[in-house]
Structure 1
Amino acid sequence: MIDDETRYRAVDSRDARFDGVFFTAVTSTGIYCRPSCPAMTPKRVNCTFYPTAAAAQGAGFRACRRCRPDSVPGSPEWNHRADLVGRAMRLIGDGVVDREGVAGLATRLGYSSRQVQRALTAELGAGPIALARAQRAQAARLLLQTTRLPVTEVAFAAGFASVRQFNETVREVYDRTPSGLRAEIRTPQAGSRAGSAEAVPGSLSLRLAYRGPLDTEHLVDFLALRAVPGVEEVVEGVGGQGVRTYRRTLALPHGPAVAEVDSLGVGVPLTRGWLDCRLRLADLRDLTTAVHRLRALFDLDADPAAVTEQLGSDPALGPAVLARPGLRSPGHVDPHELAVRAVLGQQVTVAAARTLAGRLAQRYGAALPEPSGGLTVLFPTAAALAQAADADLAMPLSRQNALRGLCAALADGTVRLDPGVDREQAAAELLALRGIGPWTVGYLRMRALGDPDVFLPGDLGVRHGLAHLGLAADPRSAAAAAVAWSPWRSYAVHHLWARAAQG
Structure 2
Amino acid sequence: MSDSRQSGPPGRRRLEDVIDDETRYRAVDSRDARFDGVFFTAVTTTGIYCRPSCPAVTPKRVNCTFYPTAAAAQGAGFRACRRCRPDSVPGSPEWNHRADLVGRAMRLIGDGVVDREGVAGLATRLGYSARQLQRQLTAELGAGPIALARAQRAQTARLLLQTTELPVTEVAFAAGFASVRQFNDTVREVYDRTPSALRTESGTRLATTATPGALSLRLAYRGAIDAEHLMDFLALRAVPGVEEVVAGKRGIRTYRRTLALPHGPGIAEVDSPAESGSAARGWLDCRLRLADLRDLTTAVHRLRALFDLDADPEAVAEQLGADPLLGPAVAARPGLRSPGHVDPHELAVRAVLGQQVTVAAARTLAGRLAARYGTPLSEPSGGLTALFPTAAALAEADSADLAMPTARQNALRGLCAALADGSVRLDAGVDREQAAEQLLALRGIGPWTVGYLRMRALGDPDVFLPSDIGIRDGLRRLGAASDPKAAAEAARAWAPWRSYAVHQLWALASAG
> Into which bin does the TM-score normalised by the smaller protein fall?
over 0.9
Q: How many residues align?
A: 495
**Equivalent of residue 226 in structure 2, options 215, 228, 244:** 215
**Equivalent of residue 336 in structure 2, options 327, 337, 340:** 327
1:138 aligns with 2:155: yes
1:175-216 per-position Cα deviation (integer Å, ceiling 9, x unaligned): 00000100125487xxxxx526x1100000000000000111
Residue in 2 that maps onto 1:359 = 368
In 2, distance between residues paired with 1:218 and 1:285?
A: 32
Give the gaps of 5 or more residues in structure 2: 1-16
In 1, distance between residues paired with 2:370 and 2:165?
A: 34
Q: Is the 8 A contact 2:277 2:335 kept in 1?
A: no
1:261-315 per-position Cα deviation (integer Å, ceiling 9, x unaligned): 0001258964411000000000000000000000000000000000000000000
Q: Is the 8 A contact 2:224 2:335 kept in 1?
A: yes
Residue in 2 that maps onto 1:487 = 496
In 1, distance between residues paired with 2:494 and 2:204?
A: 47
**Equivalent of residue 149 in structure 1, options 166, 174, 189:** 166
Amino acid of the structure 1 residue aligned with 2:285: D
In 1, distance between residues paired with 2:266 and 2:257?
A: 8
**Equivalent of residue 453 in structure 1, options 448, 456, 462:** 462
Given the two structures, how large is their TM-score scaled by the length of structure 2? 0.96
In 1, distance between residues paired with 2:396 and 2:381?
A: 28
In 2, distance between residues paired with 1:382 and 1:185?
A: 47
In 2, distance between residues paired with 1:253 and 1:266?
A: 34
Residue in 2 that maps onto 1:386 = 395
1:88-115 per-position Cα deviation (integer Å, ceiling 9, x unaligned): 0000000000000000000000000000
In 1, distance between residues paired with 2:511 and 2:421?
A: 42
Q: Is the 8 A contact 2:228 2:276 kept in 1?
A: no
In 2, distance between residues paired with 1:146 and 1:75?
A: 25
User: 1:332 offset after TM fit, Å?
Assistant: 0.1
Give the secondary-structure state (helix, strand or coil) at the position aligned to 1:245: strand
In 2, distance between residues paired with 1:98 and 1:387?
A: 32
Amino acid of the structure 2 residue aligned with 1:195: A
**Equivalent of residue 279 in structure 1, options 288, 295, 300:** 288
In 2, distance between residues paired with 1:481 and 1:251?
A: 39
1:261 aligns with 2:270: yes
Q: Is the 8 A contact 1:26 1:48 kept in 2?
A: yes
1:428 aligns with 2:437: yes
Amino acid of the structure 1 residue aligned with 2:243: E
Give the secondary-structure state (helix, strand or coil) at the position aligned to 2:254: strand
In 2, distance between residues paired with 1:17 and 1:331?
A: 21
In 2, distance between residues paired with 1:143 and 1:179?
A: 12
1:115-146 per-position Cα deviation (integer Å, ceiling 9, x unaligned): 00000000000000000000000000000000
Residue in 2 that maps onto 1:176 = 193
Task: Provide runs of 4+ in structure 1 moved above 4 Å.
Answer: 266-269
Matches within 5 A, 1:66-77: 66-77=83-94
Matches within 5 A, 1:49-88: 49-88=66-105
Evaluate the alpha carbon distance shift between residue 333 and residue 185 of structure 1 in structure 2; reply closer, same or farther with a 3 A threshold: farther
Q: Is the 8 A contact 2:222 2:282 kept in 1?
A: yes
Q: Percent identity?
A: 85
Amino acid of the structure 1 residue aligned with 2:90: P
1:313-348 per-position Cα deviation (integer Å, ceiling 9, x unaligned): 000100000100000000000000000000000000
User: 1:393 offset after TM fit, Å?
Assistant: 0.3
Matches within 5 A, 1:333-372: 333-372=342-381
Residue in 1 that maps onto 2:214 = 203
1:361-393 per-position Cα deviation (integer Å, ceiling 9, x unaligned): 000000111111110100000000000001000
Give the secondary-structure state (helix, strand or coil) at the position aligned to 2:288: strand
Give the secondary-structure state (helix, strand or coil) at the position aligned to 2:509: helix
Amino acid of the structure 1 residue aligned with 2:272: S
Matches within 5 A, 1:14-163: 14-163=31-180
Q: Is the 8 A contact 2:82 2:191 kept in 1?
A: yes
In 2, distance between residues paired with 1:268 and 1:204?
A: 27
Q: Is the 8 A contact 1:158 1:284 kept in 2?
A: yes
In 2, distance between residues paired with 1:422 and 1:271?
A: 34
Q: Is the 8 A contact 2:278 2:335 kept in 1?
A: no
Q: Is the 8 A contact 1:170 1:177 kept in 2?
A: yes
Amino acid of the structure 1 residue aligned with 2:153: R
Q: Is the 8 A contact 1:215 1:270 kept in 2?
A: no
Give the secondary-structure state (helix, strand or coil) at the position aligned to 1:369: strand
User: 1:52 offset after TM fit, Å?
Assistant: 0.1
1:250 aligns with 2:256: no
